[in-house]
Every structure is written in C-alpha cells, then in structure tokens.
Amino acid sequence: MTIEIRKVGVIGAGQMGSGIAQVAAASGYQVLLNDISEERINAGLATINGNLSRQVSKGHLADGERTEILSRIVPAASYEDFADSDLVIEAAVENEDTKRKIFQALCPFLKPTAILGTNTSSISVTRLASITDRPEQFIGIHFMNPVPVMQLVELIRGIATAEGTFEATRDFVDKLGKNFTVAEDFPGFIVNRILLPMINEAIYTLYEGVGSVESIDSAMRLGANHPMGPLQLADFIGLDTCLSIMQVLYEGLADSKYRPCPLLVKYVEAGWLGRKTRRGFYDYRGEKPVPTR
C-alpha cells in the first residue's frame, strides 16, 4: 500500500530546509517548519518570502499566489507539532551526531505511518535509519542547492527501506516538479561522489600554486564550460560542508584520493566558510567578490 503524503514537516530552516519548505508549499502541501529557535524559523520564513517576492517582481508569480504559498507554511516550535505529518524531512547541518540526536528525539512524536527523510548529501542512510524506530520508513531525499532552482533530487534507499516508502517519496518528488535519480547508499551518493573530489582537487591546485583563485575558476568556466568555477562553487556550498563531505568520502572509502586538502581545512578552521560568513576563497564584504589568495 502506497502512503499518501499531504502534510510535510521540515527540520532545519537554513538554506536547504527553507528551500524544501518553499517548493513543497508551492506544490500545494501543508508544511511545518522547525529549527532550534524561533529566530531561525523566522529567518527561514523571511528567506522564502524574499525568494517568492523576487518571482513576483519578475512576473513569474502573482502576489496572491505568494501569499497563498506562505500561508501553507506554519512554524513548528517543537517536534510534538509533527504528530500528524505524513513525511518529515531532516535538513540540518551535515553532521552525523546532530542528525542522530534529531531522529532519536523526533521519533516518539510521529504517527506509526509517517515516513522519515534525510537531506544528507553524503552520510549513510542505512546507518541513520538504524537508530530510528522505523528503518523501513526511512529514506534519503537529497535536494540540490538552491532547492527552488535545481531540478534534481537524489533518492537513496537504506538497506531496510520498504518499497512503499520509496514509491510514496518518488510520488512526492514528482509532485514537486523535480526529476529524481536513484543512488545506492555509498558515501557521497552520485553527485557529491563526483563533484566534491573535483572541488577538492581545485583547492589542491590552488594549494600547490598551479594557479590563482581567479585563474582556476576562469579555466573551468571557460575551458570546461562550467557555469561557476569550482572555488566559487565551494564558497556557495559552504567550505564546512565541503570538508564534511570529503571527510565522509575519505573515512567511508578509505582511499587517499579523497583526503581533504590541508588548505580547505585551514579555511574552515579560520571560520572562512564562503558566502555565508562573507569570506572564503573570495572576500564578499565589498561591492564585488575579491579573491583571498
């Protein structure tokens, strides 16, 4: 029996969570948005309103539609609010301990039929599922960033994921107007298994002095027709997230080719995490981004 998803919970109101909440509400779902504080939930709602307002100003959306979409997103102060959700998607920071704590605290409040999804970009879905009370109803739903714009969702089945869980999640992704690809539950799945080592290699290229930030990004934009250079993309993703994924690949696959570049580690230790902290491989504090190396 396929479970019908009507009400969706989202845990994490940051870049990814607010994007997931926005596309779900725009597709007609009732959405509950949770984070660790009211301020963070409000910041997520403000981001969604800003995104929708831009669509209105470009003529892609009527103002009445913007209001309607926002009315479908309700703040959820605690996990108890998810009691009647059909699907809850965790979109917290890419840290396994954080995710495990969320699932352990959340499960007691969910109805027995509820599906649990994780937006992890690299961590084992099987391992996360194993600490819940419903591994058969647990699945990886990896959205791409920025969620409202990117067309792909990776669906990752854990070893215990039931066929009904997969089918219900696939139908949900279809209704969002997204394309999906099915990835096996190995570190990094498909997209990040290929993308992050390329970004890491670009950082090694900078670290070893083969090219400057500008020359590396220009080379890949103009020489490989990439829409964004790899260092610019790393700043957009967040250097802490890039490092987390490289560590998952390195530890999970035990191959030296996935060793995080020491320069990436140094930037993260400095707190230069990219656009979100206004400094990474570029400095974003002025009128236009300036390379930091």
Taking the C-alpha atoms of residue 229 and residue 226, their distance in angstroms, rounded to an integer, is 7
Look up 60 and say whether it is catalytic. no
Tokens of 98: 């954080």
Active-site hit among 121, 122, 124, 200: 121
Look up 154 and say whether it is catalytic. yes
Which of 45, 13, 6, 61 shows the shortest CA–CA distance to 29? Answer: 6
Active-site hit among 119, 122, 154, 200: 154
Residue 7 burial (10 A CB sphere; 0-12, 13-18, 19+): middle
Look up 39 and say whether it is catalytic. no
Q: Which long-range contacts (CB under 8 A, 24 or more apart) does 43-46 make?
A: 43/13, 44/13, 44/14, 44/17, 44/18, 45/13, 45/18, 45/70, 45/73, 45/75
Active-site hit among 18, 142, 200, 244: 142
Look up 142 and say whether it is catalytic. yes
Active-site hit among 119, 192, 200, 244: 192
Q: Which residues contact 270 (CB under 8 A, 6 or more apart)?
A: none
Active site residue ranges: 121, 142, 154, 192
